[in-house]
Structure 1
Amino acid sequence: MIKEKINVKYYIRKDNQKIFFDYKKIAEPGEKAWLVDTIDRTEEFTAFTNKGKVSKPQRSKYEVVNEEAERKLQERSVLKAQTAIDLPRAIELAKVVDEAFKDKMGDLFLEYDYVEEGEFDDSKTPGWVTIKVKTSHSNWYQDVDNAPSTYYYQVPVEVEAQARELQAIRKKHQNDDTFSFWKCDYYKREVRVADHPNS
């Protein structure tokens, strides 16, 4: 018996009972997906046979849903097997990136006012390269005239390749509960680009 939590989200067209796993594919030629009347469902599977089949008590009444759960289980099993290779590599890369920060620990945060200083790009921070960008989704912005802050996460330019490889490994294992993200966490410089001070 294999114990693994697998969720399968699917859509059933109300007019013809066809099942789809990708909402964008429910529309037939000439239809708009958002206008198709559907029933949205999610089924959770937690027990599989040793051959990777959904256990009898948990089987969905829809065979395609069982097959999707089994496909996802196989996909996850492959990903978990790769953890044995990827995690040691990620830890090694994190050490290399962290070493590059040895003399830069006082430079981990930077506020950048794009109203006064213009649009931000890496040319404004010589020696640093952006590897990830995130925009704030805080509810605070709903009641003010300010634009949401954007955060640029940077590393020293000499470890760009290692940081990008590390980030790709971490992204690959996003939904893998066997991957220890904290073991391969790494220093990043945060550049907050905004039109207002951080309060």
Structure 2
Amino acid sequence: MVRWEADASGRLREAAMQLYVERGFEQTTVADIAKRAGLTARTFFRYFADKREVLFAGSADLQEQLVLALEAAPGSASPMQAISAALDAAATALGQHPEHSRKRQSVINAHAELRERELIKLASLSAALADGLRRRDVPEPDASLAAEAGIVVLRVAFERWINEPHGADLSQTMREALDRLRTVTTAR
């Protein structure tokens, strides 16, 4: 008989984060995470491919939210206005749990392998946004340039937001970063 575990995925993510912060990423095993969550390693692998993926589990959902927001932008929106709509969606999704985001990023920043995984995920987001822009009849290289610029804004704003714990919310920080991009691209 299969026993269903209430919010097993959430418990595993929380246990992993606690252990990564306490012991370090490399010193934490899947068995440690499962035990802390009160589950088995077998249950862990039902939800995550490996211990790295615990940190990146929401990537597909985030990508879907960004693309949907980009697609919902008015047809008259410029490529960067459509990207701005996607960035608003990103800020809403990522800005919900600032303390968790800070811990997660500190774990990622401490390990080259995790930083590489993060860059791969960001490249996937950029490619999805560029595809969305091309579906809006934005030609190349404009679609790729706007998508890449959007990801740069996301990265810069997110880093600033997690490093200023009592600053503005992520949406505001994202808009400020986008404004700075406009300023630096039009300045002499």
TM > 0.5 between the two? Answer: no
* Structure having the higher Rg: 1
Where is the strand percentage greater, Structure 1 or Structure 2? 1
TM-score with structure 2 setting the length:
0.28
Structure ranking higher on relative contact order (CA contacts 8 Å, 6+ apart): 1
Where is the helix percentage greater, Structure 1 or Structure 2? 2
